[in-house]
Amino acid sequence: MILLIDAGNTRLKWRLTGTGGPLEGAAVMADAEPLIGLSGYWSDIDRILVSTVASESARAQLHELLLARAKVPVEYCWAESTRDGLSNSYGDVSRMGADRWHAMLAGWVRCKASFAVVDAGSAVTVDYVNAGGRHLGGYILPGLQMMRRSLKVDAARIGFEQSEQLDSRPGQSTGECVNHGLAWLTEALVQRIHHDAKAFGLSAIYLTGGDARRLQALGLEANVIEGMVLDGLERIASAGVL
């Protein structure tokens, strides 16, 4: 069996293949046992691939946990210059978050045409790829929870209760101004992605990440695909040696 792990800044997602059908799970990175759903499978795992953007201390803790449970080498998959006809625009690919590269790889393998991939997680990343598999570049923005936390911590006098509502009309209380303002910002992001998709002639928009449904509800015309980073890792695993 192969264990695939997407370790983000706040959440960890995993997929176990070779079980007759993928077994999947997720947990908060800070949990003492974020892989508890794998109990009973550890002895059957013969390969582990990890895509991570977590801090080095969090990565080290995860590494020790994996070695203690599975007792097989842990393979870290980072951004690359090229794979399967997909090419990276970064001069120094080590500076690109692994999750962005693996989500792009999943999108490229899926369509082999031009596309955008939007990963709405702790940060929102947007990347564009042309029909030849060339990464055109992208954007990194603060995610919803990060923006809420910034307003609570860095603007102490702005007291508000967070809400998941999607109203973007002008607010008439501090709480409405914050929550409607975040929806308003997201709508502007959606409009910009649509504009760029048309300008660059992109044939598809793929949307993944914890806040994917929120972006879709606010108008982003995209195919929601859960676990694109894991899909990219699975493609790498299928190729054999890294």
Q: Are residues 90 and 176 both part of a single domain?
A: yes
**Cα–Cα dist 206/109, whole Å:** 12
**Cα–Cα dist 137/87, whole Å:** 11
Task: Kindly state whether residue 239 falls inside one of the protein's structural domains.
Answer: no
99 is annotated as an active-site residue: yes
Task: Please state, in angstroms and as integers, the Cα–Cα distance from residue 222 to each residue in 127, 143, 231, following that order.
Answer: 14, 18, 17
**134: which DSSP letter?**
B
Tell me the pTM.
0.93
Q: Are residues 39 and 101 both part of a single domain?
A: no
> Which one from 6, 99, 119, 231 is the annotated catalytic residue?
99
Alpha carbon 114 to its chain centroid, in Å, reads 19
Q: Are residues 131 and 110 both part of a single domain?
A: yes
Range of the domain at 109: 82-232
Q: Are residues 225 and 165 both part of a single domain?
A: yes
Task: Kindly state whether residue 169 falls inside one of the protein's structural domains.
Answer: yes
**pLDDT range class, residue 94, cuts 50, 70, 90:** very high
- At 176-214, the pLDDT tens digits run 998 999 999 999 999 999 999 999 999 999 999 999 999
Task: Kindly state whether residue 38 falls inside one of the protein's structural domains.
Answer: yes
Task: Kindly state whether residue 240 falls inside one of the protein's structural domains.
Answer: no
**Tally of domains in the chain:** 2
* Structure tokens that stand for 177 in this block: 């101004």
**Cα–Cα dist 6/52, whole Å:** 6
Q: Are residues 86 and 72 both part of a single domain?
A: no
Alpha helices in 38-114 (DSSP H): 56-70, 98-111
* Structure tokens that stand for 117 in this block: 């991939």
